[in-house]
Chains A and B, each alone.
Chain A
């Protein structure tokens, strides 16, 4: 008898079940000191204690029964769950564009794992068609699962693999690419893909969901429709993030991959374009460009894939009273590049100067970004800034800290020559540094202000 038969149970609970040979999914009557329970024994979450047995009552509710109270378990049968999204072959229509969906993980399509209580991604064209049949109205969809990781586990290997897969699919004739991704680090991946995949002739759209697709109110289905619509129909050949504009089920926004950031831990409309406006709005019917300076779709297949990456790079988020040992430890551990998220226009305190001098002497590339996220680094305004530039710190314009981090890794992957690295870093590839910040590029609606309240009350958020 394998442990699978008593999935998730251990200790006292496991021995109680073994004692009555009551396997998981058994339909049972459990007699306890305080009464009787009828239902199906469910697997136990691995984080649960070892003192309770979980059963699903006839009403569909689950309850935990203390195993010390169990007097008898009578087994009447067995009902095992077969969790499967109905799988239907994705229809093919020669008139519709071919879109490739590359999966890296996340909750775009998912199911529950009873041992951990977590959500496990499920992913195939058939499953997707079974749960979001509307996709077939938009395109012919093919899927490929590259990875199945939560987004915090994405790193250089996965970035390279994803970039290469994109290159391959473009060569294979895909008219648009969608990348399913967990949302937490989606903006890191969208940034690095903006560098690793250049001159794409087709849209590359990253998408995820903030409410997993096992919930009726999930944003997954609509995000998927928006992203597939963008990949299939839009003329925007950029790396983009496609997620909810407002929290309402109305439209999505297409954010440039290098200018986007997750700004709320749980809101549906968590992704915001920083220091610019989004490229376009997308709903189920149409794509409405908000800018016109994006790269246009082409018929050629001349994509450039450059997956260089040196991962000896770190971000240092400066805080008051930071000690030099933070920088020293990076130097001592052989880091080649440091991105500082400095205060205000790009500052750190004096006690760091000696360590920064050491970094300069060691030939470490140090770049300054701003922790205000919005706005440019400007190191001439105050003495501190000038001091820091004397220490070899390079201002990175209005590049977001995370974007500067992945770009520095990418630059160092191509050259260790600091001048060359600087040239790569400061030459914008996909608007990671912009020449100018539009007047509407900085908007955080602040609740409480009468004008804003008036605006919000008149529109579905």
Chain B
């Protein structure tokens, strides 16, 4: 083991990351913008706190088609949770409740998924097979997620290289967790069943920053179709991290891309430090073969303790168990992540698997914290026959939970002699991560017997390809060639109006800067004014640009015309913005002079500007500023 000690986050260099062999890959989840859910006809994207009914279920592990039980499944079974679903009539039907078989897959969602695959240069599968991926945490009432590989072997450009896309799948979203405490976990079922895609990259990102950047690219690909959902929770990612000699660890449920660098840094540090811990154990002669531990009931010895959590437990008739870890002295305080120690790994397992959720749920002899008195500590040490170099871990709860807990304490401590146990870990706010569950394997996949495979025809692929623009990185380059400024080019490259831009610029030969400005800046401006810009679409905007091209809409009237489209429920009416002719301008000029003259003006010499403003407002959307300016300068005399 190289003797490298982790530096603070800001000081780590690429050289440091290379030295520890940092590798990271992503699983990016992106909800698709469809009206309905993936396997039933419930509306998608309606969230609410209100619910009308509750359902209680339990999950049991089952065998995969290869005849193996999945490790995660067995772990979740050990936890024996009551799982309660909150059901809102408007967003959940009997399908999500697992009381009705699936309806056929939402075609619209599959189309979008295929298009995203095409943008990433993937190999789209010829026949889609729907699988069941077991989730025994209850986040899906069936106990599995219906999911299917849409495409494999793609790539996206990054820096001077390419990042490989291993696969992309379409799947149903899970429930939103409300709470998880003790033996009860509560979910809201409204999000359940919404279509999403999961894009999996190869582990080819070589430092934490790269992970975030590649994640951005993948998000942009999906958004560039105009058919991916945006907003809180619409995109979530799992990040896989490993270091040399380490294990692939999955950090789940990362909600913000900006938190990725610190999370991956901390995970790399955790793995590195756990490997060093293994070396330390081996130095002490502790391996998986020589590992020794025992469990004793020490409730009686602590009857008079002042330490509140244990005193409370005993007063409720609960038990206290003591696990002796031979030769572990000091190691539960071994640093794993920033301000986090090995004892936390053990406490996490006890929390998740034994359902002892109220922390602290363990105390141990390696901690300097004030817990039980040293006299009590000595009494226990003597009673269980522990030596000075042993670590004692105390856990309290009922018989079953403390049984499970003691076993888990031993399992996790022993795993330290091997290295880094394969786990999925939960992203925490401070940039560290905590245990979530044992990393599931391929054993948790089995075919969905409720639905037949779906053949994806070549005709479908050709049709879908024609509907989408070039990948955004190619478009970005084109926009730069048009001299479109970055602040417009960037959003335009992933805008749903990409095809409108192509149409207006290539077909109608309009000025690219004008079109880009209108599509991005104007819709932004309208959004700010609380207009529903979702009403702007390819069809009404194309009509609008046709009018600009044939002169029936003034260029300075574009914003107004867009506003009119929204006000008229998405209908573009060219009659509302017929360009003003000479006569119209003269009439307006005469009217506006009168208005101006009735006002008391403080800036008398600014009258031409004021007049232009009044006429523009009067003829809103129907004239170009330069025509009015010309008319005013020709016809207005300051002396008048």
Contact = CB atoms under 8 A, between A and B. Distances in A.
Contact of B97 (A112, A118, A247): A247
A381 interface: no
B131 A64 contact: no
Interface in B437-459: 441-447, 449, 452-453, 455
B359 to A, nearest CB: 28
Contacts of A250: 56
Contacts of A45: 452-453
A73 to B, nearest CB: 15
Contact of B126 (A59, A69, A85, A131): A69
A222 to B, nearest CB: 8
Contacts of B98: 211, 217
Contact of B169 (A49, A54, A61): A61
Interface in A133-149: none
B12 to A, nearest CB: 31
Interface stretch (B144-152, B548-556, B602-610): B144-152
Contacts of B127: 52, 54, 63-66
A118 B124 CA distance: 27
B11 to A, nearest CB: 37
Contacts of A264: 99
Nearest to A117: B449
Contacts of B129: 54, 61-64
B65 A81 contact: yes
B128 A83 contact: no
B238 to A, nearest CB: 13
Interface string B42-74: 000000000111111111111111110100010
A148 B614 CA distance: 88
A268 B99 contact: yes
A216 B94 contact: no
B453 A461 contact: no
Nearest to A80: B66
Contacts of A214: 62-63, 446
Contacts of B65: 81, 83, 112, 114
A61 B167 contact: yes
B82 to A, nearest CB: 8
Among A37, A60, A86, A461, max chain B CB count under 10 A is at A60
Contacts of B452: 45, 47-48, 117
A57 B442 CA distance: 9
Given A34-B123, A215-B144, A460-B84, A63 B56 contact: no
Q: How large is the interface on B (under 10, 10 to 19, 20 to 34, 35 or more residues)?
A: 35 or more
Nearest to B169: A61
A111 interface: yes
Contact of A59 (B134, B141, B153, B442): B442
A216 B61 contact: yes
Contact of B152 (A35, A82, A131): A35
Interface in A31-78: 32, 34-37, 45, 47-49, 51-52, 54, 56-66, 69
A218 interface: yes
B125 interface: yes
Among B144, B166, B446, max chain A CB count under 10 A is at B446
Nearest to A269: B99
Contacts of B55: 247-248, 460-461
A217 B59 contact: yes
A247 B99 contact: yes
Nearest to A222: B58
Among B58, B126, B169, B441, max chain A CB count under 10 A is at B126
Given A49-B455, A83-B65, A456-B52, A61 B142 contact: no
Contacts of B69: 86
A224 to B, nearest CB: 11
A117 B453 CA distance: 11
Contacts of A171: none
Contact of B449 (A84, A118, A266): A118
Nearest to A264: B99
Interface string A436-461: 00000000000100000100110111
Interface in A194-250: 210-211, 213-218, 221-222, 247-250
A18 interface: no
B94 A267 contact: yes
Contact of B441 (A60, A210, A247): A60
Nearest to A47: B452
A112 B153 contact: no
Contacts, number: 172
B143 interface: yes
A215 B99 CA distance: 13
A253 B618 CA distance: 76
Contacts of B101: 266
Contacts of A457: 51-54
Contacts of B197: none
A56 B443 CA distance: 11
A217 B152 contact: no
B458 to A, nearest CB: 9
Contacts of A266: 94, 99-101
A119 interface: yes
A221 B60 contact: yes
A61 B62 contact: no
A264 B94 CA distance: 11
Given A112-B65, A457-B53, A215 B143 contact: yes
Contacts of B152: 35, 37, 57, 63
B66 A79 contact: yes
B136 interface: yes
Contact of B125 (A47, A65, A213, A460): A65
Nearest to A79: B66
B66 A81 contact: yes
B442 A48 contact: no
Contacts of B445: 56, 59-62
A82 B69 CA distance: 12
Interface string A348-377: 000000000000000000000000000000
A83 B123 contact: no
B167 A57 contact: yes
Contacts of B444: 60
Given A217-B142, A217-B143, A60 B131 contact: yes
Contacts of A84: 63, 67
Nearest to B141: A217
Nearest to A132: B60
Contacts of A34: 123-124
Contacts of B128: 63-64
Nearest to B77: A216
Contacts of A57: 149, 152, 167
B449 A119 contact: yes
Interface string A266-277: 111000000000
Contact of B446 (A36, A51, A79, A112): A112
Contacts of B57: 217, 248-249
B52 A117 contact: no
A444 to B, nearest CB: 16
Contacts of B131: 60-62
Contacts of B134: 216
A213 B62 contact: yes
Given A216-B144, A248-B55, A266-B100, 6 more contacts: A49-B455, A54-B453, A83-B67, A215-B142, A216-B59, A216-B61
29 contacts: A34-B124, A52-B126, A60-B131, A60-B133, A61-B169, A62-B129, A63-B125, A63-B129, A64-B453, A65-B127, A79-B66, A82-B67, A83-B65, A112-B65, A112-B446, A112-B447, A114-B65, A117-B447, A214-B62, A215-B142, A215-B144, A216-B136, A217-B143, A222-B58, A247-B97, A248-B56, A447-B89, A457-B54, A461-B54
Interface of A: 32, 34-37, 45, 47-49, 51-52, 54, 56-66, 69, 79, 81-86, 111-112, 114, 117-119, 131, 210-211, 213-218, 221-222, 247-250, 264, 266-268, 447, 453, 456-457, 459-461
- Those 3 A-B pairs whose CB atoms lie nearest each other, nearest first: A64-B127, A216-B143, A60-B445
